[in-house]
């Protein structure tokens, strides 16, 4: 469990570096900065994002779920504004950076962990 969590953390840090390479409006100064940013992004997505999703549920329903992309972009931009060594230059950079970050992280997790990153407890149907 701990080793898998460590591998996911490293994958997310590598994904941030890849996003910074692909999008010139996002900057990561070092691998240590990417590790810190990946950790903070994970904490923000675990603690802050669910509260914001609940508070903005009416807007999310009106936009058929597309407002989630706006929330993800805002949170990505916020983390880039708070941390040293990780910079996001504006909302649109955060918006597209969050999308690219999610795609790269998902792809690396699927390749390196063999699909185990997305498996949940009830993957094989109802076995109860």
* Residue 89: count of CB within 10 angstroms of its CB: 16
Better-predicted residue by pLDDT, 125 or 32: 32
Which residues does 22 contact at the CB level (< 8 Å), separation at least 6? Answer: 100
Q: For all residues of the chain together, what is the average pLDDT?
A: 89
pLDDT in tens, 9-64: 999 999 999 999 999 999 999 999 999 999 999 999 999 999 999 999 999 999 99
Reported confidence tier of residue 125, pLDDT bands at 50, 70, 90: very low
Q: For residue 107, how far is the Cα from the chain centroid?
A: 13
What global pTM score does this model have? 0.84
- Pick the closest to residue 79 from 52, 97, 61 (CA basis): 97
């Amino acid at each position: 469990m701990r080793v898998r969590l460590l591998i996911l953390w490293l994958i997310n840090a590598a994904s941030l570096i890849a996003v910074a390479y692909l999008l010139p409006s996002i900057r990561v100064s070092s691998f240590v900065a990417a590790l810190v940013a990946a950790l903070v992004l994970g904490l923000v997505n675990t603690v802050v994002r669910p509260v914001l999703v609940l508070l903005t549920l009416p807007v999310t329903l009106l936009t058929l779920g597309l407002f989630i992309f706006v929330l993800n972009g805002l949170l990505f931009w916020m983390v880039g504004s708070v941390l040293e060594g990780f910079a996001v230059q504006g909302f649109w950079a955060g918006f597209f950076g969050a999308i690219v970050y999610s795609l790269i992280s998902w792809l690396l997790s699927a390749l390196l962990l063999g699909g185990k990153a997305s498996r949940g407890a009830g993957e094989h149907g109802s076995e109860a």
